Amino acid sequence: MTPYTRAQADAIACLDQPLQIIACAGSGKTQVISQRIAAILAMPGVRPSEVIAFTFTEKAAAELKERVLSIVEQEVGDVTGLADMYIGTMHGYCLDLLQRLVPDKFKFSVLTDITAQLFVDRYSAKSGLTSCPTTAKNGVLRRYLDSKLYRQVLSVLREDKIAVDRVPAGVIDSFEKYMALLRQHSHFDYTQIIRSAVDYLEGDPLEDDDFVRVQEHIRNDIRYVVVDEYQDVNPLQERLIRGLVRFGANLCVVGDEQGRGRARPIHRRAHTRRAETAEGDGRRGSPDMGTRRPARPDVRRPGRGGDVDRRPHRASSWSTVP
Ligand SMILES: Nc1ncnc2c1ncn2[C@@H]1O[C@H](COP(=O)(O)OP(=O)(O)O)[C@@H](O)[C@H]1O
Ligand SMILES: [Mg+2]
């Protein structure tokens, strides 16, 4: 059993309040949430299917799953339905949610980054690509040459908080063409998986039975939501998290110190840093000794730095483990 520090033990034991953990890389955050998830599973009356834990990559999910399972095995013993606990990416969760609960989405297939690019180029006019205005000399985006840029625009328009009235009308027209084409082909691109789930989580139940079905499921069947690497979450993903805890599920978010005290959106900086330190799957690998630094005393208060409605108000931080 890991000998936890006092602050770590406090975080592990905090199961009934929203919890935000901020500490530096390598200080044991993922370990703490693994132990905390095991503690949740050990509580009487909690079903593993009521617990959701998000990571940003499949690799991180596999690691977290392994840590949780090994703690459960050693300290809790048999837990019925353990395989029903979701530990994985937000995309994976949203796709599963939509395909299980929204009949219209059963037949949707997912475009990867590569097939989405091919899709935009293949339907260069219908996807809005070649009518999308640009300040460059020829005035519109070009097939093949600009499709990557165009896809970034299409994602930003859905992932970020955008003042739509400040986006040129031609860009919005192109975006709408793309969205119509996606629907017509029954495709999701990665962004649209989350965007669509958010629509069902936020939708007015009076408007659509599918909104009711999805929201009832969240209300009745989800009790704990845990988000690792929260500093990398974009505004759309924040809306997803908010939608999942809006009926009272407990939220725990875990992140490192970058962005502390600065204005949102922090995911912009996260992307920059990721690009600088990318390795393997494009995200940080194991903590680099060079990035270790002692955690400062925690100064976070409710109301700072995040947009999640039920903002965690209890904070924990600890020094780098010896
Ligand atoms: N209190 C502790 N004592 C000893 N080792 C610890 C402690 N807390 C965490 N560790 C170990 O430190 C390493 C880094 O932990 P990890 O949870 O991956 O950090 P983070 O998620 O903050 O980057 C892991 O091998 C973990 O088991
Ligand atoms: Mg970690």
User: pLDDT tens-digit profile of 169-217?
Assistant: 999 999 999 999 999 999 999 999 999 999 999 999 999 999 999 999 9
Please report the pLDDT score of residue 257 as a whole number.
Answer: 81
304 is a domain residue: no
Ligand with minimal distance to 32 CA: 1
Query: Per-residue DSSP letters for 195-215?
Result: HHHHHHHHS-TTT-HHHHHHH
Query: Could you identify the atom of ligand 1 that is nearest to the CA of residue 5?
Result: 1
Q: Which of 185, 212, 237 is the C-terminal boundary of a domain?
A: 185
Ligand 2 mean position to 66 CA, how many Å?
Answer: 13
- List the structure tokens of 276: 């600088």
Q: Please check whether residues 290 and 198 belong to one and the same domain.
A: yes
Instruction: Answer with the one of 138, 166, 185 that is the final residue of a domain.
Output: 185
In whole angstroms, what is the distance from residue 113 CA to residue 160 CA?
A: 19
Binding-site residues, ligand 1, Cβ < 6 A: 2-5, 8, 25-31, 287, 321
Instruction: Write the CB contacts of 94 (distance below 8 Å, at least 6 apart in sequence).
Output: 193, 194, 196, 197, 240
Whether pTM > 0.85 for this model: the answer is no
Whether residue 160 is found in the same domain as residue 224: no
Which ligand approaches the C-alpha of residue 57 most closely? 2
* 141 and 269 together in one domain: no
Q: Assess if residue 312 is contained within a domain.
A: no
| 280 has pLDDT over 50 | no
Asked if residue 202 and residue 83 are part of one domain, the reply reads yes
Rounded-to-integer distance, Cα 316 and Cα 126, Å = 51
CA nearest to 93, candidates 249, 285, 222? 222
Mean pLDDT of 95-119: 97
Q: Are residues 33 and 142 in the same domain?
A: no
Task: Return the higher-pLDDT residue of 276 and 241.
Answer: 241
* Number of CB atoms found within 10 A of residue 160's CB: 13
Do β-strands 224-227 and 250-255 pair in parallel, antiparallel, or remain unpaired?
Answer: parallel
Identify the domain boundary among 185, 204, 238: 185
The predicted structure's pLDDT at residue 138: 85
* Residue 139 identity: G
For residues 104 and 210, the answer to whether their CB atoms sit within 8 Å is yes
- Domain, as residue range, for 37: 6-104+193-294
pLDDT at 305 over 60: no
> Quick check: bond before 302 cis, omega within 30?
no
Question: Which residues are within 8 A (CB) of 147 and not within 5 positions of it... i.e. 6 or more apart?
Answer: 117, 120, 121, 124, 129, 141
145 and 285 together in one domain: no
pLDDT on residue 259: 53
Q: 124 and 270 share a domain?
A: no
CA of 26 to the centre of ligand 2 (A): 7
Amino acid, res. 75: E
d(CA 40, CA 50): 10
Task: Give yes or no for residue 302 having a pLDDT over 80.
Answer: no
Residue 26 is assigned to a structural domain of this protein: yes
Could you give the CA distance from residue 77 to residue 81 in angstroms, rounded to a whole number?
13
Q: What separation in Å is there between the alpha carbon of 286 and the centre of ligand 2? A: 8
Contact at 8 Å (CB) between 315 and 298?
Answer: yes
25 and 92, same domain (yes or no): yes
pLDDT of residue 220: 98
What is the pLDDT at residue 5? 97
pLDDT at 304 over 60: no
Q: In testing the pocket of ligand 1, which one of 20, 29, 31 has its CB within 8 Å of the most ligand atoms?
A: 31
Q: How far is the CA of 53 from the centre of ligand 1 (A)?
A: 18
**Average pLDDT value over all residues in the chain:** 84
**pLDDT at position 121 over 80:** yes
CA atoms of 83 and 68, how far apart (whole Å): 12
Ligand nearest to the CA of 25: 1
- Of all protein residues, the one whose alpha carbon is nearest to atom 16 of ligand 1 is 28
Whether residue 95 sits in one domain with residue 209: yes
| Amino acid identity, position 289 | M
Q: How high is the pLDDT of residue 292?
A: 27
270 and 212 assigned to the same domain: yes
Asked if the structure places residue 308 within a domain, the reply is no
User: In angstroms, how far is CA 312 from the centroid of its own chain?
Assistant: 16
Q: Which amino acid residue places its CA nearest to atom 2 of ligand 1?
A: 4
Q: Are residues 81 and 145 in the same domain?
A: no
CB atoms closer than 10 angstroms to residue 34 = 27
Residue 303 above 70 pLDDT?
A: no
Atom 11, ligand 1: residue with shortest CA distance: 28
Residues 142 and 119 in one domain: yes
Question: What is the SS3 assignment for 38?
Answer: helix
Question: How many domains is the chain partitioned into structurally?
Answer: 2
Mean pLDDT of the 85-94 span: 98
What's the pLDDT score for residue 1? Answer: 79
Task: Give the lowest-confidence range in 72-86, 119-133, 249-263, 290-304.
Answer: 290-304
Strands (E), the chain: 19-22, 51-54, 86-88, 109-110, 187-188, 224-227, 250-255, 314-316
Please check whether residue 310 lies inside any domain of the structure.
no
Q: Say how many Å lie between the first and final Cα of the chain, rounded.
A: 16
**What angle in degrees, to the nearest 10, is found between the helix axes of 90-101 and 190-202?**
60
